């Protein structure tokens, strides 16, 4: 029994007391819930085709919109959508759209906004959608949410220029930190990129599932062991689609440890341009190593440089076995997956790293902010026109 399975076997009353009622189960359920999301996508395929038409033919500019973790969904799928749809795809946080709308929205441009939101109730998401429906009625909206009763779903359902997809309620995470909601919305975005393809996505999903099950098993033991070593900093590095996962990894560790472990993220080549100076012997360094030959060379060069300079205590390579790392997470399924389909797999390791670090710090992972500084849904704040 691995470390995550042991948490799942704790009696329910004890889980509730320790703040472990939701988070471990929501991490563990991910590969199984992907099958449900895949079925939902197939059931929605005809509706989506009718609503979206062909983006490149319509000359759309696609905005991928969300806040926090939901913003990182966009960073994880943007390259795949751009390549498969053949049109411009931009990641634009709803937090930026709310404050900088006039700089980010060009009048009369042909836009499709794809919004991601677990709750559908975040103040920024709701306000941005309300403003867009009022001020720019020509913008098309696709909302992907995990909450059928969210305000964003309610608004979009009343608009003729909007389409709403609500994922299964099981992935509407009850814990503070988004885990299965993140990976299922990422998966939906990946499948969306293949909307007009004839090929079956099930082959890719099978590879993702096999890799994810490996991470849940071997990665749980590694994450538990690392959490016990008392790191004060964590740095997550990767390129391309994997750079989105570095953002989410840094946020998961920060959220689940209530900021007791300071985190950072960077691209493989960006780390040398200043951020490397923040590394020290209290740092856990995690590199998501690319399968792409060119990107992988840069990744491995960086690992060897970090090792040679001896500037961190521990190096972990995810997706590759390399002598420069202290630990590696890799199985044959990783070799069969393009980087574009790895975000939902790789992030599981970081989720567990955050979970076990939270426990080691004496926090309650379901609600790790003891002073209530952050909450599951961002509290309402003043919105200015």
Per-residue model confidence (pLDDT) at position 374: 66
Examine the pLDDT at 375 and tell me if it is beyond 70: no
- Give yes or no: residues 102 and 212 share one domain: no
Number of compact structural domains in the chain: 2
Q: Tell me, yes or no, whether 244 and 97 share the same domain.
A: no
Q: In this predicted structure, what is the pLDDT of residue 224?
A: 97
Residues 6+ apart with CB under 8 A from 256: 23, 177, 354, 355, 357, 358, 363, 365, 368
Instruction: Answer yes or no: do 265 and 171 share one domain.
Output: no
Query: What pLDDT is stored for residue 383 in this prediction?
Result: 78
pLDDT of 382 higher than 70:
yes
Residue 350 has pLDDT above 60, yes or no: yes
Q: What is the pLDDT of residue 55?
A: 62
The residue behind tokens 């209290």 is 282
Q: State mean pLDDT over 234-245.
A: 96
Helices (H), the chain: 3-8, 12-18, 23-28, 30-52, 55-58, 69-85, 94-104, 123-135, 151-157, 180-193, 202-214, 220-227, 241-256, 293-309, 332-335, 343-360
Same domain for 227 and 114? no
pLDDT of residue 338: 95
Same domain assignment for residues 114 and 36: yes
Contact 279, 235 (CB under 8 A): yes
Distance CA 253, CA 226 (A): 13
Interval 307-321 mean pLDDT: 95
Q: How far apart are CA 270 and CA 337, in angstroms?
A: 24
Residue 281 lies in a domain: yes
DSSP assignment letter at 341: G
Residue 198 is predicted with a pLDDT of 72
The edge-to-edge listing of strands for the beta sheet with 314-318 is 262-266, 233-237, 283-288, 314-318, 327-329
Each residue of 241-271: pLDDT tens digit?
999 999 999 999 999 999 999 999 999 999 9
pLDDT band at 205 (very low <50, low <70, confident <90, very high): very high
Cα–Cα nearest to 148, from 40, 51, 62: 40
- Say if residue 109 is in the same domain as residue 211: no
Q: What's the Cα-to-Cα distance from 375 to each of 93, 101, 263, 264, rounded to whole Å? A: 19, 26, 19, 21
pLDDT at 215: 97
Q: What is the end-to-end Cα distance of the chain in Å, rounded?
A: 54
Please indicate, yes or no, whether residues 245 and 149 belong to a single structural domain of this protein.
no
Place of tokens 């426990």: 359
Looking at the fold, whether 28 and 114 belong to one and the same domain comes out as yes
Query: What CATH number does the domain containing 150 carry?
Result: 3.40.50.10490
In a domain, 83, yes or no: yes
Q: Identify whether 353 is part of a domain.
A: yes
pLDDT above 80 (res 189): yes
Decide which of 199, 227, 253 is a domain's last residue. 199
- The predicted model scores a pTM of 0.95
Average pLDDT, integer, range 315-324: 91
- Average pLDDT (82-94) is 94
Is residue 12 in some structural domain? no
Q: What is the pLDDT of residues 43-59, one digit of tens each?
A: 999 999 999 986 665 68
Q: Is residue 80 part of a domain?
A: yes
- Output the CA angle 89-94-99, nearest 5 degrees: 115
Task: Provide the β-strand partners of residue 234.
Answer: 263, 284
pLDDT at 145 over 90: yes
Q: What range defines the domain where residue 84 resides? A: 23-199
Q: Is residue 148 located within the same domain as residue 221?
A: no
- For residue 154, give every residue at least 6 positions away whose Cβ sits within 8 Å of its Cβ, in sequence order, or none: none
Model pLDDT, residue 120: 86
1 pLDDT exceeds 70? Answer: yes
- Please indicate, yes or no, if residue 225 is contained in any of the structural domains: yes
Number of C-beta neighbours around residue 359 at 10 A:
24
Q: Is residue 8 part of a domain?
A: no
> Which of 56-70, 301-315, 363-377 ranks highest by mean pLDDT?
301-315
The pLDDT value given to residue 378: 64
Q: How confident is the model at residue 322 (pLDDT cuts 50, 70, 90)?
A: confident
Residues 42 and 56 in one domain: yes
Q: Do residues 183 and 318 both lie within one domain? A: no
pLDDT (average), residues 78-102:
94
CA 311 to chain centre: 28
Length of the chain: 385
- Give bridge partners of residue 162 from the DSSP assignment: 141
Residue 369 included in any domain: no
Q: Cβ distance 144 to 116 under 8 Å?
A: yes
Planar angle of CA 171, 172, 176, nearest 5 degrees? 115
Region 142-169: mean pLDDT is: 94
**pLDDT per position as a tens digit, 213-222:** 999 999 999 9
CB 352 within 8 A of CB 201: no
Residue 381 has pLDDT above 80, yes or no: no
Same domain, 185 and 49: yes
């Amino acid at each position: 029994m691995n470390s995550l399975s042991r948490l799942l076997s704790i009696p329910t009353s004890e889980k509730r007391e320790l703040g472990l009622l939701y988070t471990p189960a929501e991490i563990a359920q991910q590969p199984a819930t992907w099958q449900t999301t895949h079925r939902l996508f197939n059931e929605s395929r005809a509706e989506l085709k009718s609503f979206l038409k062909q983006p490149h033919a319509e000359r759309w500019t696609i905005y991928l919109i969300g806040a926090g973790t939901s913003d990182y969904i966009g960073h994880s799928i943007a390259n795949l959508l751009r390549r498969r749809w053949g049109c411009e795809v931009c990641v634009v946080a709803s937090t930026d759209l709310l404050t900088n709308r006039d700089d980010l929205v060009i009048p009369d441009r042909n836009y499709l906004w794809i919004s991601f939101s677990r709750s559908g109730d975040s103040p920024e998401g709701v306000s941005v959608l309300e403003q867009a429906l009022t001020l720019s009625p020509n913008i098309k909206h696709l909302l992907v949410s995990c909450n059928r009763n969210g305000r964003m779903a309610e608004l979009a359902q009343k608009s003729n220029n909007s389409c709403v997809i609500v994922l299964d309620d099981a992935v509407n995470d009850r814990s503070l930190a988004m885990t299965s909601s993140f990976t299922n919305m990422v998966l939906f975005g990946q499948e969306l990129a293949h909307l007009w393809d004839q090929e079956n996505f099930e082959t890719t999903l099978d590879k993702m599932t096999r890799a994810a099950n490996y991470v849940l098993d071997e990665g749980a033991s590694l994450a538990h062991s690392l959490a016990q070593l008392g790191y004060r900093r964590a740095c997550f590095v990767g390129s391309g689609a994997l750079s989105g996962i570095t953002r989410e990894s840094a946020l998961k560790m920060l959220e689940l440890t209530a900021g007791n472990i300071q985190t950072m993220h960077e691209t493989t080549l960006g780390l040398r341009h200043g951020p490397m100076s923040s590394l020290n012997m209290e740092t856990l360094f995690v590199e998501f190593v690319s399968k792409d030959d060119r990107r992988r060379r840069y990744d491995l060069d960086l690992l060897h440089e970090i090792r040679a300079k001896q500037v961190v205590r521990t190096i972990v390579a995810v997706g590759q076995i390399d002598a420069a790392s202290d630990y590696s997470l890799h199985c044959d399924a990783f070799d069969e997956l393009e980087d574009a389909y790895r975000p939902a797999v790789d992030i599981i390791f970081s989720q567990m790293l955050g979970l076990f670090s939270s426990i080691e710090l004496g926090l309650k992972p379901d609600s790790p902010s003891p002073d209530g500084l952050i909450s599951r849904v961002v509290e309402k704040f003043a919105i200015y026109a």
